[in-house]
Amino acid sequence: MKVFNTLSMKKEEFVPVEEGKVKMYVCGPTVYNFIHIGNARPMIVFDTVRRYFEYKGYDVNFVSNFTDVDDKIIKKAIEEGRTADEVSKQFIEECKKDMAGMNVKPATKHPLATEEIDGMIEMIQKLIDTGYAYEKNGTVYFRTRKFEDYGKLSHKNLDDLQSGGRSLLVTGEDEKEDSLDFVLWKPKKEGEPAWNSPWCDGRPGWHIECSVMSKKYLGEQIDIHAGGEDLVFPHHENEIAQSEAANGKEFAKYWMHNAFLNIDNHKMSKSLGNFRTVREISEQYDLQVLRFFMLSAHYRSPLNFSADLMEASKNGLERILTAVSNLKYLSGTVEIQTMTAEEKEAFEKTKEFVTSFENAMEDDFNTADAVSSVFELVKYANTTANGESSKEYVDGLRAVIVKLSDVLGLIVEKEEELLAEDVEKLIEERQMARKERNFQRADEIRNELLEKGIILEDTREGVKWRKA
């Protein structure tokens, strides 16, 4: 399996730190508003990477944080007369709803920055003790030049950065020993959330948060660190400096970054009025269409969002859904049960589509080519399965399409929704079973409804039901 490593700027063979296991950290969103489609791209891309590793039998420990203390969160809280904690908690829940809509699997752990402050203070103190950091008037800075490998990820030269102008500097530069030093801890301002530390009541810098959360939940060395290409510098560069200075070992073996997403060939920005949230997209399209759209290009290629491309994605996804639906219908109507000799030979050809799918994914997760392989498989199914086919053959074709689609996080086999009258009939049957003390059948009906997203509640007024 080849992975493009931002560190070396080339594709490398993937060799895990620990055989059979993948430790992966993906920088999550800052939760002060609904996530936008720029946030959605890394979520979908690296969820798909995770799914492929799991498909290949790896045990994946996938950690993705929520940045729940930040200037933007504080600003919104002040504007709305709320606490920063209230704002962040609200938008963490909203983010999780959007992630579920895009079929992004929950991380093994979703750490919150505010719950890991003690670990951040501990790492900062270690950096001070070893001379990599220093304190001035309550602010703690990292000595960038002391870390000899600084710039190895972004491939930037320190002297070039020095002459690059004041845009790279942060407030308080006059206190710093060097203009390139960055903040690890800063004093609180009036009305801001703060935590006690040996240096002052304040809060951590953004970069230290991910270093600490990654170390706590994945260990000192991880396999993959990922995020959008906008995080390469300074965020990921600074993470490497802090982590390797504190831990004395290579932080991450492979660095993966997805390219930018534009809107109608323009960079997304509020000033241009082309800022689109995932929630807004969900009002026009099933979020599975957004996922399909995101996977239609290689993750390192810039992607342009437009109405025409979303319609094309909707149609493309519909082709797969229709094929699966047709195969499901055939399965219930065909008369022959087991495959004929000719069908067995025809079914063997599906292995070629699976191989081409895997080859695409093994080549730096080329989802665009992987989707093409699924389309080829769909075309093959459409032309070889019919009313004369066996149930075993059509079920086999459907299973392969569903399995490969699932690796891409595409739900192509949807449960048929129960009508209200069907639910009532099953509840009635369950009540009768209970009267007859056939508790096994009663439990079967409850479980059957639960699998279809219907929750039963036994109340004094009788049985009530609701959708999960």
Return all residues near 248 (Cβ < 8 A) that are at least 6 apart: none
Element (H, E) at 160: helix 158-162
Residue 285: HSE in the Cβ half-sphere, 13 Å Cα cutoff: 23
- Taking phi first (over 0 means left), then psi (-120 to 50 degrees means alpha), and beta for anything else, what does residue 104 get? beta
Residue 414: per-residue pLDDT: 72
Contact (Cβ atoms closer than 8 angstroms) between residue 105 and residue 50: yes
| pLDDT at res. 467 | 72
Predicted local distance difference test score (pLDDT) of residue 463: 86
Contacts of 22 (CB under 8 A, 6+ apart): 16, 50, 53, 58, 59, 60, 61, 223, 224
Instruction: Residue 121: name the closest of 67, 186, 189 by CA.
Output: 186
Contacts of 301 (CB under 8 A, 6+ apart): 259
State pTM to two decimals.
Answer: 0.87
Instruction: Give the model's pLDDT for residue 166.
Output: 41
Token pair listed for 101: 């809509």
Residue 63's pLDDT is 98
Separation in Å, CA 439 to CA 422, 452, 460 = 20, 20, 19
Please give the Cα distance from 110 to 66 (Å, whole number). Answer: 7
With CA atoms as reference, report the closest residue to 397 among 358, 359, 351.
351
Q: Which residues of 349-376 are buried (b: 16+ CB within 10 A; e: fewer)?
A: ebeebeebbbebbbbbbbbeebbbbbee
> What pLDDT, on a 0 to 100 scale, did the predictor assign at position 422?
83
404: burial class by Cβ within 10 Å (0-12, 13-18, 19+)?
buried
Per-residue pLDDT tens digits of the chain, which is 468 residues long = 999 999 999 999 999 999 999 999 999 999 999 999 999 999 999 999 999 999 999 999 999 999 999 999 999 999 999 999 999 999 999 999 999 999 999 999 999 999 999 999 999 999 999 999 999 999 999 999 999 999 999 999 888 787 544 444 444 556 899 999 999 999 999 989 999 999 999 999 999 999 999 999 999 999 999 999 999 999 999 999 999 999 999 999 999 999 999 998 888 776 777 779 999 999 999 999 999 999 999 999 999 999 999 999 999 999 999 999 999 999 999 999 999 999 999 999 999 999 999 999 999 999 999 999 999 999 999 999 999 999 999 999 999 999 999 999 999 987 665 667 888 889 999 989 988 989 888 888 888 887 777 888 888 778 888 775
